[in-house]
With several copies, the nearest count.
Chain A
Amino acid sequence: MIRSSSSPLPAEVSNVLPESIRVVTGDPLDIVSLLRQAHHPGAGAVVLFSGEVRDSNKGREVAYLEYESHVPLAEKMVHDILDEAREKWGLKAAIAQHRIGKLAIGQSAVVVITAAAHRREAYEANQHIIHRIKHEVPIWKCEYFSDGTHQWGNNCNC
């Protein structure tokens, strides 16, 4: 729970990714709302990763990024990755959301949240999930540089 005013979700609700969370979305990621959905009375550790747009990459000044995705396949793959992680690490909650479209410097491109009884599992699962999302899921980054050029990414943003 991030605020004392919000009540913990029952296990059977927060144990699955709520239908309302779109894995791939064109809207700004609402980290606060996602965190709220990751809370669980049996979770002693919540880890959140936010991948954000940096102002430069390999010495070149970045103006903005644009992400595209094959959404149906991406959503299915992310759900599978989260399900596997939930089972492997006994997670109380596992949430991921990736933004597509145009992103400004500092905006969040991807958020991964894991909740577990103990912190080792929450960190490990979180790193595993973001690694797989970056390397396996059909989502692509295009960097638009301040000099007017652009480049489809092969390299990680973070």
Chain B
Amino acid sequence: MKIHVYAKLKDYFSPEFELDAVAHNTDELKLRLLEINGEAGQILDSCRFAIEEGFIDHDHKLKENDTVIIIPPSSGG
């Protein structure tokens, strides 16, 4: 599974990386990411998750070859 992170999340993770661990949904994905960096809990709780087709919620079933985009709160404008 490919992971893309943006903005402040880049203080915790590489901008793009391959996650070897298995995550069937975003809740499991969050746990896998906390195993990489335990300090990311608060910011991850404020993030939305998306795949190429758009936003997904916590019961969306992730596939092994998905690219998951992790989106911190917007600060455009």
Contact = CB atoms under 8 A, between A and B. Distances in A.
Direct contact between A and B judged by beta carbons closer than 8 A: yes
Interface of A: 51, 67-70, 72-73, 76, 98, 109-110, 130, 133-142, 152-158
Nearest to A157: B77
A139 B76 contact: yes
Interface string B35-62: 0000000000000001010100000000
A135 B4 CA distance: 20
Given A110-B76, A139-B74, A155-B75, A73 B54 contact: yes
Given A69-B6, A158-B77, 11 more contacts: A51-B77, A68-B7, A70-B6, A70-B69, A109-B77, A134-B74, A137-B76, A141-B75, A141-B77, A156-B75, A157-B77
Given A138-B6, A140-B6, A140-B7, A70 B50 contact: yes
Interface residues of B, number: 16
A142 B11 CA distance: 12
Interface of B: 4, 6-8, 11, 50, 52, 54, 69, 71-77
A130 B77 contact: yes
A139 B52 CA distance: 16
A98 B54 CA distance: 20
Contacts of A157: 77
Contacts of A158: 77
